[in-house]
Amino acid sequence: MLSRQLIAALGGLALGALASSAQAFSVNIANGAEPGTLDPQKTSGNWETRITRALFEGLVTYTADGSLVPGLAERWEISADGKTYTFHLRDAEWSDGEPITAEDAAFALRRVLEPAIANHNANLYYPIVGARAINAGEAAAESLGVETPDAHTLKIHLTQPTAWFLQALAMTEAAPLPEHAIDTAGEHWVEPGKTVSSGAFTLSEWQPQARIVVEKNPHFHAAQDVALDRATFYPIDDAGSALNRFRTGEMDIAYSSVPSSRFAWAQQHLSDALQVGPLTAEYFYMFNLREGQPLADRRVREALNLAVRREVITGQILGQGQPPSTWYVPHGTANAPSGQMAFADMPMEARLKRAQKLMQQAGYGPDHPLRLTLNYNTLEDHKKIAVAVAAMWKPLGVEVALVNSEAAVHYATIRQGKFEVARYGMVATINDPFDFLGAYAKDGSASRASGYHDADYDALVARSTRELDPQTRQRTLTQAQQRLLDDYALLPLYDYVSVHLVSPRLGGWESNPMDVHPLRYLEERD
Amino acid sequence: MLSYTLKRLLMAIPTLLIVITISFFLMRVAPGGPFDGERQLPPEIEANLKAAYHLDEPLPMQYLRYMGNLLEGDFGPSFKYKDFSVTELIMQGFPVSLEIGGLAILLALLVGLPLGIAAAIRRNSTVDYLVMGTALTGIAVPNFVIAPIFALVFGVLLAWLPAGGWNGGAWPNLVLPVVALSIQQIAYIARMMRASMIETLGSHFIRTARAKGLSETEVIWRHAIRPAMLPVVSYLGPAIAGIITGSVVIEQIFGIPGIGRYFVQGALNRDYTLVMGTVVFYGVLIVLMNLIVDLLYSALDPQIRYDD
């Protein structure tokens, strides 16, 4: 009798457990590195923003395909002169039930510019009146050009029209923040139990170096459209381990888990899970253009560009479908300019002939070879590419010394301009050509590193930012890029692609150039 | 023995000071800084970051600040793991590394010592060749080869055990990393024990014991093992310190949340405070382990006494 009751009770328990596990929709994600922080304004990489984006909703936000849609703002107006943005916030709540107000949005913008926060991308908000001075510690945060006429309205004043400003606002850095929660919890306010979120998920567990769990936020403004109940992020920095754990079925999504050496294998065995798509990121060789450097001579730069067979690199070394590029701004970028280097359609033989002639004109030949150093940071693929490029330059009489260093040393060398040719990977923070072209304009990072200065180019880039008509802007961007390409200021090699594994049981996950994959759109396929 | 222990601990202070000072300046001499990355930062932002971590101060000033904080037990904030202090990171990771490392050492002793003894007793027999051949392979094949093979074979293909992950330290998750971590140690210990056992078995006091008519088993168990253990014990000190401060390879491949990765990642990221924290921690551990080994010596070998 007793045992029968027990069996019935146990059976009930088991059924209950089955029922709840059938209802709960959860995913495990191999997320790369361990996040250093989940404060959305202190993050420095996508292994962090993939989580902060689930927790914090921007005024504008991304869809599954990476395009911009209203987030906490249900609509906005941009003044005719392009200098005032008025956002109308929807009725929404923080996960603790407090209303999300325009003041929270203004607070976040002031905070991201505070020198003590030391945000890496603060310069994206410099178009706001007073922003640069605040970030440089010369003015108080209160002087920022933002107003909140009422609890649902936020006005942002810019110093000049800025075509890509909405893209900057879509970054999690600019998402409204819960001032009340930060005041109470202090510096480490993003911890389970302390943090208050506005996104589709809340933070429920963080075991450092082991796992981070987010759970559906019932207060989220579109909670009824969110199918996913729980996501667990695992820090797995070894790509091979991530691949293994995806194969055992433990992981449902594995980011950057297929090294190029395993790609062909994955194509064969995991074809229904392999997700490959273009990225807004460019792999190129930076030239040191300073006077006295061998590459200050435009003829040499053109010759080096002519001799590189990019399709050999993308096809035989990488083989993941990277588009070989004779342009600078990756084609996956929104509003990407058209145009390419002048030789792009020339047959290889003619290219080599011209390259040899140019080298002769520049004074190099068999008796007087051009000796170049080529720097790259430690990675097998970088090494293979450098060896291949050096071999392609050999017929021009170029003798290359390869210099390999770890990333910190490599980038310090570039920053200090102590190189001749250096491997560089430019990854966009916002989905706009400005991120690439701006780097070579006055005060841009690539301009400072390479010594590239061209007043006309700077003027074109500046104009492209102020230009609000999309077609006119596109033309200006194309002109700007063409100037850089005609000058052979760099040697583009290919546009990056993203390579991820996503379980075929998941829907609502799309490859996109910004590589953003909001969890709120995930669904379970039958 | 107490005064000896105290004296050793006092002597450790200048040693640690020198280690800390050299590491501090070596780290800063290395080219490249914590904010040198693919995305080159605008000067204003780099200035903000440097100010936030006091990197804008002159180096001697930074050194004094660091030493001052260290006296108060504060290792400072990590540059990369901004939400954590270095103390928090070490305290969260150490128990995990201790568990994995401790189990690995235990396994290594349980397997390595008997193997070494057996090989020594049956010197130049098939057993000996088999044990020493296997041990040589164990030493020759590095962690970063063994670990992925284990994960692939036992985790993915056979699916007997998890291919990785910590899972709160559940035993199925412990097996592969512990075994992978112990293989090299088993090999070292077996070889060392064999060599030392052979030497001991050839010494005069063993001959005397045999002459007294003791059985071979008694000779080995009562007289040979203790002195033969000495080299193994002195090896264990630094080996334990090394193995319980984690192994970056094992941790990365099996996703173990220990502190081993901080050594390598910290150095590569120029996370100055994290590197310093792990160096100090490792230094203290080495000092303690060596002390324990020396004390164990006196227990194993009556000729060694620390009374003064």
Q: Beta strands A153-157 and A146-150: pairing type?
A: antiparallel
Is beta strand A274-287 parallel, antiparallel or unpaired with respect to A490-502?
antiparallel
Among the partner residues B52, B156, B257, nearest to A208 by beta-carbon distance: B257
Q: Which of B48, B84, B156 sits opposite A115 (nearest CB)?
A: B48
Question: A247 and B31: CB-CB below 8 Å?
Answer: no
Per residue in A302-323, pLDDT (tens digit) is: 999 999 999 999 999 999 999 9
Residue B163: which of A248, A266, A34, A270 has the closest Cα?
Answer: A248
Looking up tokens 């994995």, which residue turns up? B100
**How far is residue A174's CA from residue A119's CA, in Å, rounded to a whole number?**
11
* Inter-chain touch B83–A407, beta carbons under 8 Å: no
Read off the pLDDT of each residue in B282-300 and give the average, rounded to a whole number. Answer: 85
pLDDT in tens, B224-235: 888 898 889 889
Give the per-residue pLDDT at A5. 46
Average pLDDT, stretch A135-164? Answer: 96
From the list A34, A118, A445, the residue facing B49 with the nearest CB is: A118
- pLDDT of A285 above 60: yes
At A7, is the pLDDT very low, low, confident or very high (cuts 50, 70, 90)?
A: very low
pLDDT at A22: 54
Give, for A135, the enclosing helix (H) or strand (E): helix A131-135
From B257, which residue of chain A is nearest by alpha-carbon distance?
A: A209
Task: Identify any residues that bridge with A400 across adjacent strands, giving them in sequence order.
Answer: A372
Give the closest residue to B87 by CA, choosing from B68, B70, B71, B74.
B74
Residues 6+ apart with CB under 8 A from B29: none
- A to B CB pairs, distance under 8 Å: 161
Of A117, A247, A424, the CB nearest to B156: A247
Alpha helix locations (H) across B202-224?
Answer: 204-211, 216-218
How high is the pLDDT of residue A238?
87
Strands A421-427, A370-377: parallel, antiparallel or unpaired by DSSP?
parallel
Pairing of strands A274-287, A421-427: antiparallel
The alpha carbon torsion through A428, A429, A430, A433 (nearest 10 deg) reads: -30
CB-side neighbour CA atoms (13 Å) of A151: 8
Is the confidence at residue A17, as pLDDT, over 50?
no
Contact A427 B38 (CB under 8 A): yes
Which SS3 state, helix, strand or coil, does residue A354 take? helix
User: Residue A172: left (phi > 0), alpha (psi -120 to 50), or beta?
Assistant: alpha
The per-residue pLDDT for A147 is 96
C-alpha A361/C-alpha A252 separation (Å) is: 58
Closest listed residue to residue A187, CA positions, set A35, A39, A34? A39
H or E element in which residue A426 lies: strand A421-427
C-alpha to C-alpha distance for A495 and A314, rounded to whole angstroms? 10
Question: Which pair of structure tokens corresponds to residue A275?
Answer: 């997700």
Query: In the predicted model, what is the mean pLDDT of residues A402-418?
Result: 93
Residue of A nearest to B270 (CA): A408
Separation in Å, CA B37 to CA A424, A427, B33, B41: 11, 11, 9, 8
Once rounded to an integer, what is the mean pLDDT over residues A267-281? 95
Shortest CB distance from B252 goes to which of A136, A237, A244?
Answer: A237
Percent of chain A whose predicted confidence (pLDDT) is above 70 = 96
Per-residue pLDDT for B246 more than 90? no
- Mean pLDDT, rounded, for A440-454: 95
Closest-CA distance of chain A to residue B80, Å? 5
Of A44, A135, A445, which has the smallest distance from its Cβ to B40's Cβ? Answer: A445
Taking CA atoms, what residue in A is nearest to B152?
A244
In whole angstroms, how far apart are CA A367 and each of A357, A398, B56? Answer: 15, 11, 49
Q: Minimal Cα–Cα distance from A244 to chain B, Å? A: 6
User: In chain B, which ranges are continuous DSSP H helix?
Assistant: 2-29, 43-52, 59-71, 86-121, 126-140, 143-150, 171-201, 204-211, 216-218, 225-244, 248-254, 260-268, 272-300
Confidence band of A9 (pLDDT split at 50, 70, 90): very low
* Residue A205 predicted with pLDDT over 60: yes
Say whether pLDDT at A3 is over 70: no
Query: Is the pLDDT at A6 greater than 60, yes or no?
Result: no
pLDDT at A121: 93
Token duo for residue A164? 């890509």
What span, in angstroms and rounded, lies between the C-alpha atoms of A29 and A211? 10
The pLDDT value recorded for residue A12 is 43
Q: CA B229 to CA B236: how far, in whole Å?
A: 10
In chain A, residues with a C-beta closer than 8 Å to the C-beta of B257 are 207-210
At B73, is the pLDDT very low, low, confident or very high (cuts 50, 70, 90)? confident
Chain A nearest-CA residue for B49: A118
The more confident residue out of A375 and B296 is: A375
Q: What is the spatial distance between Cα B75 and Cα B86, in angstroms, rounded to a whole number?
A: 6
Closest by Cα among A518, A34, A44 to B41: A44
DSSP three-state, residue A31: coil
User: Predicted ipTM?
Assistant: 0.87
Percent of chain B with pLDDT over 90: 36
SS3 content of chain A, % helix, strand, coil (to 5): 40, 20, 40
* H-type alpha helices, A221-274: 239-247, 263-269
Best residue in A241, A279, A410 to probe B by mutation, most B CBs within 10 Å? A241
Are A36 and B45 inside 8 Å of each other by CB? no
B306 band by pLDDT with thresholds 50, 70 and 90: low
Burial class (CB within 10 angstroms; exposed 0-12, middle 13-18, buried 19+) of A145: middle
* Residue range B116-140, pLDDT digits in tens: 999 998 888 998 999 889 888 888 8
Q: Is the pLDDT reported for residue B189 higher than 60?
A: yes
Chain B residues whose beta carbon lies within 8 Å of the beta carbon of residue A435? none
A412/chain B closest Cα distance in angstroms: 5
Question: What does the pLDDT read at residue B307?
Answer: 59
**pTM for this predicted structure:** 0.90
Residue corresponding to tokens 């690439």: A436
CA nearest B258: which of B244, B272, B270? Answer: B244
Hey, are the CB atoms on A191 and B83 less than 8 Å from each other? yes
For the segment B204-214, what is each residue's pLDDT rounded down to a tens digit? Answer: 888 888 888 88
Q: Using the 8-state DSSP alphabet, how is residue A76 labeled? A: E
Q: From the list A236, A406, A424, which residue is nearest B268 (CB)?
A: A406
Per-residue tokens: B23: 């590491």
Mean pLDDT of chain A: 93
Residue A99 phi, psi (nearest 5) = -70, 145
pLDDT exceeds 60 at position A13: no
Taking Cα atoms as reference points, which of B239, B228, B127 lies closest to residue B186?
A: B239
Nearest CA in chain A to B79: A36
Distance from CA of A359 to the nearest CA of B (A): 32
Check A241 against B253: CB less than 8 A apart.
yes
Q: Give backbone dihedrals phi and psi of B173, rounded to 5 degrees, phi first.
A: -75, -20
Which pLDDT score is estimated for B32?
A: 86
Confidence label for A75 from pLDDT (cuts 50, 70 and 90): very high
B193 to chain A, closest Cα gap in Å: 35
Shortest CA gap A105–chain B (Å)? 22
Q: Is the pLDDT of residue A501 over 90?
A: yes
Q: How far is A128 from chain B (nearest CA, A)?
A: 16
Element (H, E) at A52: helix A46-55
Looking from the CA of A190 toward its CB, the CA atoms found within 13 Å total 24
The Cα angle at residue A225 between residues A231 and A255, in degrees rounded to 5? 35
